[in-house]
């Protein structure tokens, strides 16, 4: 099973994100929880959200034909409060972030967020009862890491670790490490490779092209 996401130029020059469905699910099953104030709060934030998200996926009223957009919108609302898309985008762009104007940064964050949301939402509806086991939570100042294991319906165990930081009184995800592969580091490597050969404007055009293709699927 492929464990890492890929952003690659296709024949049309588009960048793509590919994540196996079982690795995407734990990233999406997140929502609001009480502000962090004790050991275990980061884990509780993730754990407490899973039931709510699975509830959306299992709701027969939302499974009916023609309800796809309504269900996706509900899932999208669960993602927004827990992912620090700005921090993820900044880290993914790496050193190239410093050279961008405030306007360029805002536009990049918006595209990066839409790219991730579309990729995840396009796969989560394939959920088939994968189980998530919770392991160690470590806290270092405002930062926390929550280790989980996704157990597939075939019994395969896949480690998924969430890197979080306390922002405004609540933990937010700024990176996900799947089978030892950091989503942010993976993007940074690929974006840097693109920018070594192309301009920032061309990178943005590639991202827009990918988003258009996502919306067609």
| Residue 171 pLDDT > 50 | yes
Please tell me the pTM assigned to this model. Answer: 0.77
Cα–Cα distance for residue pair 168/172, rounded to 1 Å: 9
Structure-block tokens of residue 24: 């995407």
Check residue 13 and give its pLDDT. Answer: 37
Q: Please give the share of the chain, as a percent, with pLDDT higher than 90.
A: 45
Structure-block tokens of residue 80: 């927004």
Q: Is 7 in contact with 119 (CB distance < 8 Å)? A: no
Q: Which domains does the chain have, with CATH numbers?
A: 21-216 (3.10.450.710)
| Residue 180 pLDDT > 90 | yes
Check residue 36 and give its pLDDT. Answer: 38
Structure-block tokens of residue 117: 């949301």
Q: How far is CA 106 from CA 28, 110, 113, in A?
A: 23, 6, 11
Q: How far is CA 179 from CA 13, 79, 106, 148, in A?
A: 28, 22, 31, 11
Q: Is 49 in contact with 83 (CB distance < 8 Å)? A: no
Check residue 7 and give its pLDDT. Answer: 36
| Residue 22 pLDDT > 60 | no
- Among the ranges given (28-32, 88-92, 213-217), the one the predictor scored with the smallest mean pLDDT: 28-32
- CA 74 to the chain's CA centroid: 16
Residue-wise pLDDT for 45-82, tens only, equals 878 666 777 788 888 899 888 888 898 888 888 877 88
- Among the ranges given (67-76, 154-163, 176-185), the one the predictor scored with the smallest mean pLDDT: 67-76
């Amino acid at each position: 099973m492929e464990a890492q996401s890929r952003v690659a130029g296709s024949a049309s020059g588009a960048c793509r994100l590919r994540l196996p469905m079982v690795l995407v699910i734990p990233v999406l099953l997140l929502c609001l929880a009480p502000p962090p104030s004790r050991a275990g709060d980061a884990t509780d934030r993730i754990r407490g959200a899973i039931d709510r998200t699975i509830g959306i996926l299992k709701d027969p009223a939302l499974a009916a034909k023609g309800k796809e957009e309504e269900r996706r919108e509900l899932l999208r609302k669960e993602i927004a409060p827990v992912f620090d898309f700005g921090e993820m985008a900044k880290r993914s762009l790496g050193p190239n972030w410093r050279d961008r104007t405030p306007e360029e940064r805002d536009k990049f964050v918006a595209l990066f967020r839409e790219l991730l949301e579309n990729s995840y939402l396009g796969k989560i509806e394939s959920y088939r009862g994968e189980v998530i086991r919770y392991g160690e939570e470590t806290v270092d100042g405002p930062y926390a890491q929550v280790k989980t294991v996704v157990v597939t319906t075939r019994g395969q165990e896949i480690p998924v670790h969430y890197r979080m930081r306390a922002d405004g009184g609540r933990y937010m995800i700024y990176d996900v490490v799947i089978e030892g592969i950091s989503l942010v580091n993976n993007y940074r490597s690929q974006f840097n490779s693109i920018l070594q050969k192309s301009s920032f404007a061309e990178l943005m055009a590639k991202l827009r092209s990918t988003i258009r293709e996502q919306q067609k699927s």
